[in-house]
Amino acid sequence: MNDGEVIHVDGYYPGAGQKPPDINEVIESIPSDAIIANFFSCHWHACPHIQPTGRDQIKCPKTGKTWKEVYTASQNHVAQLESLGCRVVTCWKHEYVKLLVTVPRAQEIHENI
């Protein structure tokens, strides 16, 4: 990995029709001083903001697993990355959307991504 290089550490792969990379191989390639920008979609990662109650019984429609199971798996992934020595900065989608509405510069940056 080179300085400034962007890699996906959550298994997501934007290449349509292509096989995603082996997440374990990706994680092994992360240097311990990496700063990881972690973006959590509220539904795919079971944000407590979306489903605050009944999380250990109600299933998340996106995954078919309980909200608690999905959230725990997401938090375990962050802990795995942190255990490598990386700094993980997490932003939930609802926080990002609020930022876009309340901070004009954020909207400007978003439009240029």
Q: Least separation, in Å, of the C-beta of 92 and Zn ion?
A: 4
Q: How far is CA 106 from CA 37, 38, 78, 92, 113, in A?
A: 16, 17, 25, 15, 11
With CB under 5 A as the contact rule, the residue among 46, 47, 70, 81 that binds Zn ion is 47
**Could you give phi then psi for residue 89, rounded to 5 degrees?**
-110, 115
- Which range binds Zn ion by CB under 5 A, 34-42, 61-69, 70-78, 99-107? 34-42
What is the rounded CA–CA span in Å between residue 7 and residue 25? 12
With CB under 5 A as the contact rule, the residue among 43, 55, 59, 94 that binds Zn ion is 94
Site residues, Zn ion (CB under 5 A): 42, 47, 49, 92, 94
